[in-house]
């Protein structure tokens, strides 16, 4: 089983680099967002340290088709659906990060069988608590207002900047993979 995870992780890294769909290897000109974007540890833990009142607000949890690039990176077919979980990470009452997670059906088994029922618990806390979980390198994108993730992230917010920075990576455990994309909202750096 471990052998499969290592081989699969290598394959994912090659696909990840080959099918970037204009995602970047470095967050070029990200300025105030840079330290948040390049954080390799748990973003949830960092937010909990910084904000006295931290919470997770679930927005969407449903089975749906993924985008083409998400399906490619997760080695899914265009017809496969996955559990899509979208939440706001809230600090001191303000949305700081919009998190979009793609959990393929075949990944919701074994140690990850409960990930579809997290409710208002942070996914990051679960992922980083297990030392067997491996993570691909982060990739970055400056989302324009026409991007679907941008539109989902600002839905219900009054502050709508010209663009938002996002990062994503794939987490692997025993040949199961999930993708987590985090979109950083203006209040994160405004409250710095």
The structure's pTM equals 0.87
Cα 76 to Cα 111: distance, rounded to the nearest angstrom: 21
Q: Collapse the DSSP code of 40 into the 3-class scheme (helix H, G, I; strand E, B; otherwise coil) and give the result.
A: coil
Rounded to 10 degrees, the C-alpha dihedral 122/21/109/38 comes to -40
Q: What is the CATH number of the domain that holds 76?
A: 3.40.1410.10
| pLDDT (0 to 100) of residue 58 | 95
Strands annotated E in 48-115: 54-65, 81-91, 94-104
Token match 């608590």: residue? 129
- pLDDT one-digit tens code per residue, 89-123: 999 999 999 999 999 998 998 889 888 889 999 99
C-alpha 112/C-alpha 107 separation (Å) is 7
Average pLDDT over residues 134-160: 92
- Of residues 121 and 30, more confidently modeled: 121
Give the total number of structural domains in the chain: 1
The domain in which residue 56 lies consists of: 2-190
Please tell me the predicted confidence (pLDDT) of residue 116.
85
Please check whether residue 80 is in contact with residue 167, taking contact to mean a CB–CB distance below 8 angstroms: no
**Token pair for 1:** 């089983």
pLDDT in tens, 40-69: 999 999 999 999 999 999 999 999 999 888
Q: Is pLDDT larger for residue 3 or for residue 22? A: 22
Burial (CB < 10 A; 0-12, 13-18, 19+), residue 65, is: middle
Q: Mean of the per-residue pLDDT values for the chain?
A: 86
Q: What share of the chain is helix, strand, coil (3-state, %, to 5)?
A: 35, 35, 35
pLDDT score, position 2 = 45
- Rounded to 5 degrees, φ, ψ at 26 are -135, 145
């Amino acid at each position: 089983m471990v052998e499969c995870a290592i081989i699969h992780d290598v394959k994912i890294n090659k696909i990840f680099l080959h099918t970037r769909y204009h995602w970047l290897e470095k967050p070029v000109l990200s300025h105030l967002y840079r330290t948040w974007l390049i954080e390799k540890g748990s973003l949830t833990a960092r937010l909990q340290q910084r904000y006295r009142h931290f919470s997770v607000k679930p927005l969407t949890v449903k089975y749906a088709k993924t985008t083409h690039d998400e399906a490619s990176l997760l080695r899914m077919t265009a017809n496969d659906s996955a559990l899509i979980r979208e939440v706001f990470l809230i600090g001191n009452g303000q949305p700081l990060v919009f998190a979009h997670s793609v959990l393929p059906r075949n990944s919701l088994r074994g140690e990850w069988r409960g990930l579809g029922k997290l409710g208002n618990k942070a996914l990051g806390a679960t992922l980083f608590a297990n030392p067997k979980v491996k993570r691909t390198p982060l990739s970055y994108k400056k989302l324009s207002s026409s991007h679907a993730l941008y539109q989902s992230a600002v839905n219900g917010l009054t502050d709508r900047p010209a663009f938002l920075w996002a990062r994503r990576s794939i987490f692997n455990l025993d040949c199961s993979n999930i993708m987590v994309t985090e979109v950083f909202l203006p209040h994160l750096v405004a409250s710095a």
